[in-house]
Amino acid sequence: MQEVKNRIETILFTVGRAITFEEIASLCSIGSVGIVRDALNQLAEDYKRRESALMITVDNNVASLNIKKEYLHLTTKLLSESELDKSTQETLALIAYRNPALQSEIIKMRGNGAYDHIKKLKELEFIISEKSGRTRKLKLNSKFYDYFDVVEDKLQQKFNELDKQPDTQEILKVLPKEK
């Protein structure tokens, strides 16, 4: 079983995002999802016993390797030097909150600088856009969910918990930090 756990740990570290048991089984050449589930549960317990800064999260046939909350502050400097400046992150947060969002609404809320943010977000493939009347409809792309290591349904659930007219800073608090 240790060899199976080692292979799974390697996959979790390498992909750097939440991954389904089926994907893990396929990537590790393991024929049984049950074996993957058992190995993941044992691996999560191993991390707890080690008192590691990392943890294995297992939830609804999806697993990921994450940094424990009490150690996230150590990554702050790295995150502040990310590809997305703060104002672009705020624009992305609004698009994520409204998903799908009309570009004209985002521009009204964020100002003309949001055109540049939207352009950059499309280039980075966080969002896609399609013509919708005289404006464009902006939608989150799968890269957004992978990059921020968030499940679409859970993100919407968190947003639904916010007030009807949230402040941008409140939306940013809901989004996980960039990798």
In a domain, 76, yes or no: no
Range of the domain at 87: 82-174
Token digits of residue 61? 């046939």
Give the whole-angstrom CA distance, residue 73 versus residue 104: 36
Domain count, the chain: 2
> In the chain, which residues have pLDDT < 50?
163-166, 178-179
* CATH code of residue 64: 1.10.10.10
My answer on whether 59 and 105 are in the same domain is no
| 90/170 same-domain check | yes
* pTM value surpassing 0.85: no
pLDDT for the residue 145: 76
pLDDT of residue 164: 47
Residue with structure tokens 């297992």? Answer: 58
Residue 77 resides in a domain: no
Instruction: Round the average pLDDT of the chain to a whole number and report it.
Output: 80
